[in-house]
Amino acid sequence: MEAKKGETYKVLKEKMTISQEIKDNLKTFTQIKKSILNALKERRMTVPELSKAIDMSTDRTMYYLMTLLKYGFVVVDEIDDMDEYFYYKLKNNG
Amino acid sequence: MPENNKTIEYDALIIGGGIAGGEAALNLANVGYKVLIVEKDLSIGGKMILLSKVFPTLDCSACITTPKVSEIMRHPNITVFTSTQASNIIKKDDGTFEATITKQPRYVIAEDCTGCQLCEQACPVSVDDQFQYNLVGRKAAYIPFSIASPRIAAIDIANCTLCGACERACPTKCIDFTQTVETYSLKAKTVIIATGFQLFDPTLIPRYGYGKFKNVITAMQMERQLAPTRPFNTILRPSDGKMPDNIAYILCTGSRDKTVGNPICSQVCCMYSTKQAQLLMGALPMADITLYYLNIRAFGKGFNEFYAQAQAMGVQFTKGKVAKITEKENGNLLLRYEDINGGGVVKETEHDMVVLSVGILPNQGIAELFSNDELVLDPYNYIGQSDFLASPAQTSIKGVFVAGVASGPMDIPDSILSAGSASSDAANYIRHLNKKTVSV
């Protein structure tokens, strides 16, 4: 198959099989991203609050929330009254 | 076997594009020699480019490294191959070397990439970011890190779903999935080994709970948290995003410890921990920082003053070997240790975050790169220095020199000095070879 500029991935796609692990990873990330962004649509939250809202452990919530912060979906808001946890909110919903 | 085998010729082959390899390359290039740097990662700059600040001056590490790597990349006498490894290095009878150079595809046409990151934004895949020591994710189409050099995208083919989103988003159409492995036959007059080091894997000490207790992190993970290009918005606990206010450091994690196979001192942990403690005092003014140590080795220029400065700032230094860490329900950690200066009493203290000051280890497989001559290693598997006092860069193979931590643990200034020694010896060796050729 000849490679057309801008569509070269099609050439590799014919030669390579995408593993189930890679597909599962994409599915997991997409689901978690959606649930975090949906939860933050309601109101700003700290990591423990978000963890409860999406029913996921705090360490995994922290990892995915910080990843979404890096990707630009989420921004940091104020710190709580006890100076312990930051609030996070959607980038365009603050 | 890839078909694209080309023959290339340089005066010097430098294996490793960290600060030592880069410095050696600049020294040789500045006196007119043609240099090839082969770097296994996607960017040059080694570990130094990922640090926050350096000790004992507290200068910004990126501010020192980025102009240096930029100079290396732009130097007309230096060629840099990233994602590349050298192998099958053969010393010829005339004193020159031949090697096989294998360059992995980046799936991006380097000359056309502007580093705009639109491919990164379009990519739907997220995997652990190795440059942030797995504290956050990164995309499968990605710029390794913001100050990477070269600052061009790469495709992580092992995690790519081949959805084509990156290609569609790329304004210069520089993503090319048809790229394959390139091999080169290299002829060089000298070789400098600047392969650096690897960090001790703390999961080998299960009693510290690294990997199991989320608030036990390595010093390199803390280094990333302290850097301006940090993974979180500030210094936070990975378990729940709480700002820590009582942090402990455990020094000699994986150094001076026969039980984990590394009986020697890593030379840098005392000072990088002291540095991080000072930076944390600045970033978290209300936090208590305690360093649990066996001996503080403040041996270099300005090190003892740096140690005294940390004490004056309020950093607590406790002489004691930590035996065990247990985790409380709230993520806090209980450290059980022998308080040596307190009469040898066994004590338990609570901290909300623990940083393991992991030691450094030699990279493996360097001796195996040489085919017809033996590259002798020292008893700790660093590159052996055959005549340490007369020529610290000389290895067991004439014409092969060692620079930086590949020869043993040392800090950044010593690595740069070592690179100076290696480049000076390498230049001499090339000159002798050239004279021989002329006289023949």
- Peptide bond between residue B56 and the one before it cis (omega within 30 degrees of 0): yes
- Residue to test with chain B: of A36, A62, A88, most B Cβ within 10 A: A62
Question: What average pLDDT does the segment B223-243 reach?
Answer: 97
* End-to-end CA separation in angstroms for chain B: 38
Buried b (16+ CB within 10 A) or exposed e, B45-80: bbbbbbbbbbbbeeeebbebbbebbebbbeeebbbb
Report CA B290 to chain centroid distance, whole Å: 26
B265 pLDDT tier (thresholds 50, 70, 90): very high
- Contact indicator for B126, B137 with CB cutoff of 8 Å: yes
pLDDT of A92 reads: 79
- Contact indicator for A1, A10 with CB cutoff of 8 Å: yes
Question: What average pLDDT does the segment B368-389 reach?
Answer: 95
pLDDT of A6 reads: 83
B contact set with A (CB within 8 A): 121, 124-127, 135-139, 159-164, 167-168, 170, 173, 175-178, 214, 231-234, 236-243, 331
Instruction: Of B86, B100, B77, give the one whose Cα is nearest residue B14.
Output: B86
* Per-residue 3-state assignment (H helix, E strand, C coil) for B259-300: HHCECCCCCCHHHHHHHHHHHHHHHCCCCEEEEEECCCCCCC
pLDDT of A12 reads: 92
For residue B254, the one-letter residue type is: G
Q: What is the CA radius of gyration of chain B?
A: 23
A75 pLDDT tier (thresholds 50, 70, 90): very high
Q: Which of residues 42-61 of A touch B (CB under 8 A)?
A: 46-48, 51, 58-59
Q: Is B75 left (phi over 0), alpha (psi -120 to 50) or beta?
A: beta
User: What is the C-alpha to C-alpha distance for residues B287 and B225, in angstroms, rounded to an integer?
Assistant: 15
For residue A2, the one-letter residue type is: E
Q: Is B209 left (phi over 0), alpha (psi -120 to 50) or beta?
A: left
Each domain of chain B, given as residue ranges in start order, spans 5-104+181-196+363-439, 201-359
User: What is the C-alpha to C-alpha distance for residues B353 and B335, in angstroms, rounded to an integer?
Assistant: 11
Name chain A contacts of B214, Cβ cutoff 8 Å: 59
**Res. B320: pLDDT tops 70:** yes
pLDDT of B4 reads: 65
pLDDT of B295 reads: 94
pLDDT of B280 reads: 97
**Res. B440: pLDDT tops 90:** no
**Res. B2: pLDDT tops 50:** no
* Per-residue 3-state assignment (H helix, E strand, C coil) for B85-137: EEEEEEECCCCCEEEEEEECCCCECCCCCCCCCHHHHHCCCEEECHHHCCCCE
Name chain B contacts of A58, Cβ cutoff 8 Å: 239-241, 331
User: Using one digit for the tens of pLDDT, what is the confidence trace for B127-184?
Assistant: 999 999 999 999 999 999 999 999 999 999 999 999 999 999 999 999 999 999 999 9
Question: What average pLDDT does the segment B401-408 reach?
Answer: 98
Closest residue, chain B, to A51 (C-alpha): B240
User: Using one digit for the tens of pLDDT, what is the confidence trace for B105-118?
Assistant: 999 999 999 999 99
Helix (H, G, I), strand (E, B) or coil at A29: helix
- Give the list of residues 6+ apart from residue B343 with CB closer than 8 angstroms, or none: none
Cβ B125–A25 below 8 Å, yes or no? yes
Instruction: State which H helix or E strand residue B62 sits in.
Output: helix B61-74
Q: Check for a shared fold between B5-104+181-196+363-439 and B201-359.
A: yes
Closest CB to B168: pick one of A6, A11, A69.
Answer: A6
Cβ A85–B124 below 8 Å, yes or no? no
pLDDT of B286 reads: 92
Helix intervals (H) in B127-199: 165-169
Query: Which CATH code fits A9-90?
Result: 1.10.10.10
Helix (H, G, I), strand (E, B) or coil at B197: strand
Q: Which two three-digit tokens encode residue B248?
A: 């402990």
Give the CA angle between residues A29, A34, A39 to the nearest 5°: 130
- Contact indicator for B277, B289 with CB cutoff of 8 Å: yes
Closest CB to B161: pick one of A23, A63, A66.
Answer: A23
Name chain B contacts of A85, Cβ cutoff 8 Å: 240-243
Beta-strand relationship, B35-38 and B5-15: parallel
B439 pLDDT tier (thresholds 50, 70, 90): low
- Beta-carbon count within 10 A of B130 CB: 13
Beta-strand relationship, B246-253 and B141-142: unpaired
B245 pLDDT tier (thresholds 50, 70, 90): very high
**Res. B317: pLDDT tops 60:** yes
Which CATH number fits the domain B5-104+181-196+363-439, given the four candidates 3.20.20.150, 1.20.200.10, 3.50.50.60, 3.50.30.10? 3.50.50.60
Going across the sheet that includes B345-351, the strands are B322-327, B333-339, B345-351
Instruction: State which H helix or E strand residue B12 sits in.
Output: strand B5-15
Secondary-structure class of domain B201-359 per CATH: alpha beta
**Res. B95: pLDDT tops 90:** yes
For residue B143, the one-letter residue type is: I
**Res. B352: pLDDT tops 80:** yes
- Closest-CA distance, A83 to chain B, in angstroms, reads 8
- Residue to test with chain B: of A64, A67, A69, A85, most B Cβ within 10 A: A67
Measured over the CA atoms of residue B325, residue B220, residue B211 and residue B263, the dihedral's sign is: negative
A94 pLDDT tier (thresholds 50, 70, 90): very low
Closest residue, chain B, to A60 (C-alpha): B239
- Per the prediction, chain B carries an average pLDDT of 96
- Closest-CA distance, B400 to chain A, in angstroms, reads 40
Helix (H, G, I), strand (E, B) or coil at A88: strand
Q: Which two three-digit tokens encode residue B275?
A: 């540095």
Question: What average pLDDT does the segment B71-81 reach?
Answer: 98
**Res. B1: pLDDT tops 60:** no
pLDDT of B63 reads: 94
